[in-house]
Structure 1
Amino acid sequence: MGALTMGALTAVMVAGTARAEAGRADTAAEQAFLERGVEVDVTAANANQARDQAILQAQREALTRLFRKLTPAADGHQPPAVSQGELESLVSGFELEQERASSVRYVGRFTVRFRPSAVRQLLQQNGVRYAEMIGKPALVLPLDATGGEPSLWTDGPWRQAWAQMGTVDGLVPVTLAPPEQADQNDLPAKAALTPDPGTLGAVLARIAARHGAGQVVLARLEGDATKGYQLTLSIFIPGEGLSSPETVPQAAFVARALPAPADAPAPVPGAAVPPPALGLAVATVVDRVEEGWKRRVVVDAHLSGQVAVRVPVTDLVTLVEVRRRLAGVPMVIQVDTTALKTTEALLTLTVLGDVAHLKTALAQRDLILSELPAVPATGAEPAAGPGPAEVRYQIGLAGS
């Protein structure tokens, strides 16, 4: 690395002791603490009372929805009880999407924004694990095996159900794979129906790379409306590989379909409409994606600790870029620069979670966490406790 001026070195060291909290005000972080389309219908003695009660009700409903979005369902936690004053301290603002009112009734739809730091504090004080990191998009390949001829890239009820997918207000954007020729060549419908496990991962890896996806979901649908449907999900995650197929019978589908988009076009008279169960199947896939993501990037205050990392650098720009990306990782709450040499920087990360979760979270910011060769792989162990941490890991920019 070229010679550092005293001013540049001072800037790096000051940045080294700054908390990563300052980097969380970006758009992606704010989206995690926002709830859209919160609908309320309140009747009261007069219009003003109805509106005031509706606003409070919308904020409470939004907090419940936010809790469900951020926390793993498997943990079984219920939203903490909060007073009206505590609720107001959690809410940073709200916007009215739509309203109708009479002399005694108020019907409205709101967007509610929450203060990230206040919500984090509430969850941590109640011992609740949570995830807030927005993941890279999940790309869905809807394989329809309900008829005699499988279909994957052509129109049919299953693909149509995905094309009509409602609003996904979660941590992972879920998108339908477009019928691009390169993808069709890589994975024809018949090959997807009876895939070779040894090659399917490589095929999905190419598709993920072409679309910049954080995961690719091959969602196979079988059955019919009379006997019931069944899903089989195979999920490929770059850097982690292909999951074992998961079978989900219709009895285990989620109970409600996704809300319809506000700008959804009116149904065309006489046009074929997918069976309602397919809307529930779509919502079930989205739910599996969301819950899987939360498990992979969960923030756990009980696992607070430090991880010492080496950052190979050739110039100051590399170090600045690594630190900028670290500031966008919610489970990294502090970054300290412990040493700065001509070829490397040594950082100490204070994290809420274990090393496996940290690796996944860093990958979403295109940072690669690897274990240094001298230390055997240890898997998902908790981060080291307080005190000087041994340098066991290295962080680099993806693609460098």
Structure 2
Amino acid sequence: MKRFLLLAWLCLAPLAARADDASFTVSPVAVDVTAESAAAAKEQAIAQAQRDAFDTVLARMTIPEDRAALPQLTDDDISGFVQNFEVISEKTSPVRYVGSLTVRFSQAAVLTFLREHAVSLIKTRSQPMLILPVFWQDGRLMLWEDENPWREAWDQVSGSGTELMPVVVPLGDIADVAGMSAEKAISGDNDIIRKMADRYHAGGDAVVAIAVASGPQDDPLARLAMQIIRMAPGGDVAVRNLDVLRSANEDDAALMAKATAAVLRELRLAWKAETAVEPIAPRDIDVMALVSSLADWQALEKVLQQEPRIGKIVTVAFGAGYVRGSLTVTGNIEKLQQALVAQGYLLTLGENGYEIRKP
């Protein structure tokens, strides 16, 4: 009887609506607007905050080429995508409004807009990416040292909770120092680096970000020559070189922050290009999920519901160790497989259709 009730619940319960998540929320959004009156300044500031926040959401979820092809939207158009907003802080004068806002967008409205314009999109949040910031200056290689300004800059972005591609930087505690050195990091030993990634539950790529102070003797940080070594869990390696120059009146901390942003931009562009969903006609595939408990199935179902390549989820049978059904899939199957790997699942094709399971 219990098994029958469980089967009935799985088959007949309505598919839960996909909840709006942090990917569609932007906070804080700073605004500073002057107009003919305080009321007009606030109205314009709210419109500006919504536009800035919408641009941020699009930048998270799409690739630059697709964004450039989107139509220009009015303030009223963008307001139609807003689920709600709240004021974090504000100051007003007779003609000025200065504030900080949180803006939340309707997930359904934004995704519909992007799909109507055939935009490749990224909705799946990747597993955290480990960053090992190695710094070289005056013949000295540094990783955990307190005087490593490169690691200090990366500490400021570690553990991002709102990006689709979060990054994590090790704490540099006793265990980290014992298990990893700057020399080991730049050696590219994937086994050693994966152990460090596992310690921080960083299941995504591991990146050794090497920054070399390459400026003249009187200002070594006038130029940072950077090499980004990106290692996938399976062992594939990609290398990218970047240069960042110090701007006029830019101090060391600002230079390091600019260099960190440049590396993150390159990493996110590469990740988005790999995970973007192509606008391909949807089709149904038969799937058997290999799970050991109801809790395991619910965890997998949540991942499937949040995956933009998957539309309708149909459950037709529940048995000991499996759930059988079908998925309506849009886009390239290989890209779906990559996205599920990033969430800790394998999608493989067998004799009787596709199977989904933990590695």
Q: Same fold (TM over 0.5)?
A: yes
Distance 1:396 1:165, change over 3 A: closer
Match of 2:219 in 1: none
More displaced stretch, 110-119 vs 95-104 = 95-104
Q: Tell me the SS of whatever aligns to 2:60.
A: helix
Q: Tell me the SS of whatever aligns to 1:287.
A: helix
Match of 1:135 in 2: 126
Match of 2:207 in 1: 217
Deviations 1:208-266 (A, max 9, x none): 1111012321100113344621111112232x334222112227x9x9xxxxxxxxxxx
Deviations 1:58-113 (A, max 9, x none): 11121122212211125453553234443222001112122221101112221111
More displaced stretch, 29-38 vs 164-173 = 164-173
TM-score scaled by length of structure 1:
0.78
Contact kept, 8 Å, 1:137 with 1:173, in 2: the verdict is yes
Deviations 1:174-212 (A, max 9, x none): 23221133333333212334x1x5xx1111211111110
**Mapped pair 1:371 → 2:359:** no
Match of 1:174 in 2: 167
Distance 1:341 1:128, change over 3 A: same
The letter for the 2-side match of 1:245 is V
Match of 2:358 in 1: 397
Q: Tell me the SS of whatever aligns to 2:32.
A: strand
Q: Residue 121 of structure 1: CA displacement?
A: 0.7
Match of 2:155 in 1: 163
Match of 1:377 in 2: none
Q: Tell me the SS of whatever aligns to 1:171.
A: coil
More displaced stretch, 301-310 vs 30-39 = 301-310
Contact kept, 8 Å, 2:90 with 2:97, in 1: the verdict is yes
The letter for the 1-side match of 2:42 is R
**Mapped pair 1:250 → 2:211:** no
More displaced stretch, 211-220 vs 168-177 = 168-177
Distance 1:187 1:332, change over 3 A: same
Q: Which of 145, 152, 156 is 1:154 aligned to?
A: 145
Q: Residue 166 of structure 1: CA displacement?
A: 9.1
Q: Residue 141 of structure 1: CA displacement?
A: 0.6
Cα separation, 1, equivalents of 2:8 and 2:38:
60
**Mapped pair 1:280 → 2:258:** yes
Contact kept, 8 Å, 1:94 with 1:110, in 2: the verdict is yes
Cα separation, 2, equivalents of 1:349 and 1:341:
18
Q: Residue 296 of structure 1: CA displacement?
A: 3.2
Contact kept, 8 Å, 1:23 with 1:328, in 2: the verdict is no
Cα separation, 2, equivalents of 1:37 and 1:202:
39
Cα separation, 2, equivalents of 1:31 and 1:314:
30
Match of 1:260 in 2: none
Aligned residues: 348
Cα separation, 1, equivalents of 2:313 and 2:177:
44
Q: Tell me the SS of whatever aligns to 1:130.
A: coil
The letter for the 2-side match of 1:202 is D
Distance 1:230 1:74, change over 3 A: farther
The higher relative CO (CA closer than 8 Å, separation ≥ 6) is in: 1
Distance 1:297 1:4, change over 3 A: farther
More displaced stretch, 322-331 vs 31-40 = 322-331
**Mapped pair 1:362 → 2:340:** yes
Contact kept, 8 Å, 2:158 with 2:167, in 1: the verdict is no
More displaced stretch, 315-324 vs 286-295 = 315-324
Match of 2:285 in 1: 307
Q: Tell me the SS of whatever aligns to 2:242.
A: strand
Cα separation, 2, equivalents of 1:327 and 1:289:
26
Contact kept, 8 Å, 1:303 with 1:354, in 2: the verdict is no
**Mapped pair 1:207 → 2:196:** yes
TM-score scaled by length of structure 2:
0.86
Q: Tell me the SS of whatever aligns to 1:250.
A: strand
Q: Which of 315, 330, 336 is 1:352 aligned to?
A: 330
The letter for the 2-side match of 1:174 is V
Contact kept, 8 Å, 1:38 with 1:62, in 2: the verdict is yes
The letter for the 2-side match of 1:9 is L
Q: Residue 354 of structure 1: CA displacement?
A: 1.7
Cα separation, 1, equivalents of 2:201 and 2:294:
28
Q: Residue 23 of structure 1: CA displacement?
A: 4.9
Q: CA RMSD in A?
A: 2.8
Cα separation, 2, equivalents of 1:166 and 1:44:
38
Q: Tell me the SS of whatever aligns to 1:94.
A: strand
